[in-house]
Amino acid sequence: MENKRFEISLKCLFCGCELQGDTEKEFSSGDMLECQECGELNDYDALIDVAADEGKEVAAKYAKEEIERMLKKALK
Ligand SMILES: [Zn+2]
């Protein structure tokens, strides 16, 4: 089984733009991330929740595509 990595980005809960995380700093539960676009503070835990949901969707979509491809191959 191939190992596939998913790129999940953290998006501002207010304006939807991608949050540029400060690479020098490690964020952890309870932290607030300031959006560089709108200046709103995003709750880290909420962001992780959203990203986790997004990740599940991406994984489900990928799995479906893989299954479809395998079925197509099997039918040839
Ligand atoms: Zn924003």
pLDDT digits (tens, 9 = 90+) for 40-65: 999 999 998 998 898 899 999 999 99
CA distance 51 to 76: 38
Centre of ligand 1 from the C-alpha of residue 59, in Å: 26
CA distance 27 to 20: 12
> Taking Cα atoms as reference points, which of 13, 61, 57, 18 lies closest to residue 36?
18
pLDDT tens digits, residue range 19-34?
876 666 788 899 999 9
Which helix (H) or strand (E) element contains residue 42?
strand 41-43
Centre of ligand 1 from the C-alpha of residue 22, in Å: 15
| pTM exceeding 0.95 | no
Centre of ligand 1 from the C-alpha of residue 52, in Å: 19
pLDDT for the residue numbered 6: 57
Contact 47, 20 (CB under 8 A): no
Q: Is the dihedral of CA 65, 69, 71, 75 positive or negative?
A: positive
Centre of ligand 1 from the C-alpha of residue 46, in Å: 14
Contact 14, 55 (CB under 8 A): no
